[in-house]
């Protein structure tokens, strides 16, 4: 018997942070799943212990201001792409408005820290979302292209193939075949 799970990562992150920070008896607010505001000062020893405990669960504390902004850029891009209600505006405008910096500054900083462009990161995230939509929602490529503001299915297919090495249609066939095999093994 197999169990198929759809984890709510935001809930899991919040739960882990709440449980681990409760041990230290410090007052804090979770601003979002990756930002904690301590409501009281904490000594260096406690800070280091918190860092060790959180690191055991894959949380890395970011202290460099440039890296913090880059992380916020990544989160904003993911929110923009995966959010069903995200406005249909250019990504450069969306990022500049959400992060209160010029797009030129954000783009240069992102490239400096990650050695890749914001545009490339957006493409990678879009392709991940396309794979999710194909896998979970059985949408047509036309529906997906429209949903993600691609100019055409051909443009989507080209980016998909350049990123993954296979066409979206081939990916759909692979998923369909995998599901058939899984269903046979269940029965």
**Per-domain boundaries in the chain:** 9-61, 64-116, 118-187
Q: 118-187 has which fold?
A: Arc Repressor Mutant, subunit A (1.10.10)
In this model, does residue 161 exceed pLDDT 70? yes
129-164 burial, b if ≥16 CB within 10 A, otherwise e? bbbebbeeeeeebeebbeebebeebeebbebbbebb
Of 62-71, 81-90, 111-120, minimum mean pLDDT range: 81-90
Report the chain's mean pLDDT, rounded to a whole number: 87
pLDDT of residue 7: 79
In this model, does residue 3 exceed pLDDT 80? no
| Paired residues of 35 in beta bridges | 32
pLDDT for 106-121, tens place per residue? 999 999 999 999 999 9
In this model, does residue 182 exceed pLDDT 70? yes
Compute the average pLDDT of residues 2-7: 75
Most confident of 23-27, 87-91, 164-168: 164-168
pLDDT for 146-155, tens place per residue? 888 888 999 9
């Amino acid at each position: 018997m197999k169990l198929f799970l759809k984890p709510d990562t935001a809930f899991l992150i919040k739960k882990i942070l709440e449980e681990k920070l409760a041990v230290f008896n410090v007052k804090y607010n979770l601003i979002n799943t990756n930002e904690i505001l301590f409501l009281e000062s904490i000594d260096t020893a406690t800070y280091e212990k918190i860092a060790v405990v959180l690191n055991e669960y894959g949380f890395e504390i970011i202290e460099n201001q440039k890296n913090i902004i880059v992380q916020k850029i990544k989160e904003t891009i993911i929110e923009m792409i995966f959010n069903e209600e995200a406005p249909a505006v250019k990504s450069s405008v969306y990022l500049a408005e959400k992060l209160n910096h010029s797009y030129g500054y954000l783009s240069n900083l992102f490239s400096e820290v990650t050695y890749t462009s914001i545009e490339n990161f957006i493409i990678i995230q879009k392709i991940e979302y396309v794979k999710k939509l194909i896998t979970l929602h059985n949408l047509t490529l036309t529906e997906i292209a429209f949903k993600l503001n691609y100019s055409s299915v051909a443009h989507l297919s080209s980016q998909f193939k350049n990123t993954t090495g296979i066409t979206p249609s081939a990916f759909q066939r692979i998923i369909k075949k995998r599901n058939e095999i899984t269903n046979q093994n269940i029965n």
